[in-house]
Amino acid sequence: MVSKLRIIIFILSFSLSAGLIALDDEAGHLGSLGAEIAVGGKTFSVPIENLASLQPSSQASPFPPIGKSEFLAHFSAAWLSAHVDGYQPVLNHGFESHMASISVGEQVAKDHARLHPVSVDLWYKRGAYANRVVMDKKEPNTGFYIIQPIPYSSEPDHDREQWFLSETLPDESKSYPENPHWRPYICRRTNGIIIENAKVLTKCNINGKSADDIFFYTYLSSENLRVRETVLSTIAEEIRSWIIDEESNNDS
């Protein structure tokens, strides 16, 4: 009933409005330098080059995608190359850039403070990961232990397996490390079947934090895992620089 009333008021008010107001040409949230995004109680001034425009083929969206508590930002490979020593741009379809999903707010902070059920189950070798297999030698290129959530299958159809990477081995006989939480990276092979002749790539989900209530995740190819900490801190700092709310800036 309320919603109908609202509609009626809008229609009534609209009919009174013709020509009453003169405004500038474009919607004010998108300026020439970027967009202001209000999300999770904070306002971010996102530069135009970081507005989500999935490279290489998407159309540029005139407005950034906005969720209730999250938004999407784009970091080009060129930008990361300039800011992160050792970063290797992987020139393959869809991998020229990084999309970061950014979550903001008090509730988000509470949610992230909880134990991550997947990590806990993986540590204790239970649930979906009851048959996990741990490679007890570190992978030399990245310095990670590899944890297979399910035993490897030689079936021909079974070629897009997922695995976890961790700097420390899980041990179900010990308590789950909570300070900090033990959180392995989740990786999966993209074996080039989406695009013919595309390179076989590995992408890993990595998580970062810009402030107590600003979290983000993005994907890195396996080639760049060794510079992940610099990538995360660089992106975190960049996101922090977008906050235009004074109080929030002071807090952080």
| Residue number with CB closer to other proteins (86 or 135) | 135
| Residue number with CB closer to other proteins (215 or 242) | 215
Q: CA 36 to CA 242: how far, in whole Å?
A: 9
Neighbours of 60 (CB within 10 A): 9
The nearest distance, CB 85 to other proteins, in angstroms, is 26
57 in the Ramachandran plot: left (φ > 0), alpha (ψ -120 to 50) or beta? alpha
Assess contact for 187 and 205: CB atoms under 8 A: yes
Q: Which of 88, 177, 199, 217 binds other proteins (CB under 8 A)?
A: 217
Q: Is 91 a binder of other proteins (CB under 8 A)? A: no
The nearest distance, CB 181 to other proteins, in angstroms, is 11
Assess contact for 46 and 242: CB atoms under 8 A: yes
Q: Is 205 a binder of other proteins (CB under 8 A)? A: yes
Q: Which of residues 95-114 bind other proteins (CB under 8 A)?
A: 95, 99, 101, 103, 107-108, 111-112, 114
Q: Which of residues 23-42 bind other proteins (CB under 8 A)?
A: 23-24, 26-29, 38
The burial of 208, by beta-carbon neighbours within 10 Å (0-12 exposed, 13-18 middle, 19 or more buried), is given as buried
Q: Which of 44, 123, 149, 239 binds other proteins (CB under 8 A)?
A: 149
The residues facing 123 across adjacent strands are none
Q: Which of 90, 133, 134, 150 binds other proteins (CB under 8 A)?
A: 150
Q: Which of residues 45-74 bind other proteins (CB under 8 A)?
A: 52, 54-59, 61-72
The nearest distance, CB 13 to other proteins, in angstroms, is 4
Considering CB under 8 A, how many residues would be counted as binding other proteins? 87
The residues facing 218 across adjacent strands are 206
Instruction: For residue 78, give Cα distances in angstroms to 85, 93, 134, 199, 233.
Output: 12, 15, 36, 20, 17
| Residue number with CB closer to other proteins (11 or 179) | 11
